[in-house]
């Protein structure tokens, strides 16, 4: 179909596999204790992780744009810079919030939220092939959805932990 999406990796199966592996790798990085132990606090770990995640996300978008566009320099520079900045901020917020919640509270839902956001992002960028529109939609629509969904998951886990281990029972804090 002219103007439709096509997987840059040649097949949808390959794209799904790469996106899933990327999601697992990012999730494993947050879960692995040795990476968290290098930071002096959960907030420093989350900030560093969020920045690294944003750099990789924007680099993925830039790489797919260069691969898929015959003339990537034809993109509007001002609009592209705006969408790159928004995407970097959004990616840092998604990854940083999930990393902080896991490092501070060990919420399992933070790992799931990070996996889902990463796998979806990689899949989208690898299928759509970059471009300002892809980045604009991702940054202005999907990032807020990721953040709201993660917040809802965190609230549910906090509620379950509070019900199953109330503070007056001497259980671990939620």
d(CA 142, CA 76): 22
Region 49-65: mean pLDDT is: 94
Ordered by start, the domain boundaries in the chain are: 12-163
d(CA 113, CA 6): 26
How many residues appear in the chain?
174
Region 137-154: mean pLDDT is: 96
Gyration radius (Cα) of the chain, Å? 18
Helix/strand/coil (H, E, C) string of 122-140? HHHHHHHCCCHHHHHHHHH
Q: What's the confidence (pLDDT) of residue 104?
A: 94
d(CA 130, CA 49): 23
In this prediction the pTM is: 0.88
Query: Cα 143 to chain center, whole Å?
Result: 8
Instruction: Tell me the per-residue pLDDT of 77-104, one tens digit each, with 9 for 90 and over.
Output: 888 889 999 999 999 999 999 999 999 9
Burial class (CB in 10 A: 0-12, 13-18, 19+), 10: exposed
């Amino acid at each position: 179909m002219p103007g439709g999406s096509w997987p840059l990796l040649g097949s949808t199966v390959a794209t799904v596999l790469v996106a899933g592996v990327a999601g697992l790798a990012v999730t494993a990085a947050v879960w692995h204790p040795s990476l968290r132990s290098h930071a002096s606090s959960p907030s420093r770990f989350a900030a560093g992780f969020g920045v690294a995640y944003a750099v990789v996300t924007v680099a993925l978008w830039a790489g797919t744009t260069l691969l898929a566009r015959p003339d990537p320099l034809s993109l509007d520079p001002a609009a592209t810079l705006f969408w790159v900045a928004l995407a970097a901020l959004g990616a840092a917020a998604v990854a940083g919030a999930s990393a902080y919640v896991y490092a501070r509270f060990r919420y399992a839902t933070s790992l799931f939220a990070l996996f889902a956001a990463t796998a979806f992002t990689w899949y989208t960028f690898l299928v759509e092939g970059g471009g300002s529109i892809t980045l604009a939609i991702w940054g202005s629509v999907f990032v807020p959805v990721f953040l709201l969904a993660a917040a809802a998951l965190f609230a549910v886990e906090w509620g379950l932990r509070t019900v199953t281990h109330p503070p007056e029972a001497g259980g671990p804090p939620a």
